[in-house]
Structure 1
């Protein structure tokens, strides 16, 4: 088996207006390489977006650097990939729900993680329990915010805080 397996991350972004509760963050998944050496580390973002006129829609897009982005707040490693094409097919197959006011991006991410866990073949080592992952990610970003990590004037193009739930340690402060 390859020792440099790609990683699956939970990524949190500001939600674009909501200041608290469940709607505080926009949730997405990122796939990127284990080794993050170099000026930029390309990867792919998978998420659902709520378009004002069209409702919720699935989106996947290449990102120039999975470590950074002007709106990225933090990443949390939740799995090592075993079969990337299988994982991507599983993400693409996740339902997108319109017409339910309680359904949103975090719902999609939580259900996607549950589907990955049920599949059992697309990832290896993993922490896919949505209750654990969501609570940890919220606390992690809150701690970083309280410590001034997202203070005005900070270079938002620099790598963002990243925690590896599999190893139980921060890999980017």
Structure 2
């Protein structure tokens, strides 16, 4: 067993929605290597609202999972055991259009349920959506209150990262 398995992250981005705390963030998955050096390529998996085109699934390579455009924070939630299986699972999740209550967080919650049911695409993991969502919101609120996103210089740094498996912050 390799101890350098890719990691599955939950990533939070600002959604652009003001005045609605539940819709304040855009939620996505990132997959990247455990060992992070100066630049850490990876892939983002999410659904995005194309407005007139509705919700669409997207997977996109990113130059550096530590600092994708507008990323606020990321959270290690799993050690990837079978990446192909995980990606297939994400690709085959339903994307719902026509339901005004369905959005990116709905897709993430469903994905976590299906990953847990599958039992083979990730090993050690934290897949409880209620815990992840509450912790992530509180963590980003603390970072915001502390001024972590206040300067252009801060925005260029690797973003705050918390390992929910080891229960520790790995990037402040």
Distance 2:96 2:135 in 1: 26
Provide TM-score, normalisation by structure 1.
0.96
- Deviation per CA, 1:50-81: give whole Å up to 9, x if none: 00210000000000000002300000000000
Measured after TM superposition, the shift of residue 101 of structure 1 is: 0.4
Aligned to 1:26: 26
- Deviation per CA, 1:127-172: give whole Å up to 9, x if none: 0000001101101100100100011433422100000000000000
Q: Map residues 103-122 of structure 1 onto 2, 5 A cutoff.
A: 103-122=102-121
Residue 9 of structure 1 contacts residue 79 of structure 1 at CA under 8 Å; is this kept in 2?
yes
Change (3 A) 1:152 1:17: farther
- How many residues of Structure 1 are paired with residues of Structure 2 in the alignment? 172
Whichever structure has more helix as a proportion of its residues is: 2
Q: Secondary structure at the match of 2:85?
A: helix
Residue 70 of structure 1 contacts residue 156 of structure 1 at CA under 8 Å; is this kept in 2?
no
Residue 70 of structure 1 contacts residue 157 of structure 1 at CA under 8 Å; is this kept in 2?
no
Change (3 A) 1:19 1:36: farther
Distance 1:82 1:70 in 2: 27
Distance 1:58 1:35 in 2: 28
Q: Map residues 12-23 of structure 1 onto 2, 5 A cutoff.
A: 12-23=12-23
Deviating 4+ runs (over 2 angstroms): 17-20, 152-155
Aligned to 1:35: 35
CA RMSD of aligned residues (A): 1.0
Residue 69 of structure 1 contacts residue 156 of structure 1 at CA under 8 Å; is this kept in 2?
no
Residue 148 of structure 2 contacts residue 154 of structure 2 at CA under 8 Å; is this kept in 1?
no
Distance 1:8 1:140 in 2: 18
Stretches of structure 1 that go unaligned for 5 or more consecutive residues are: none
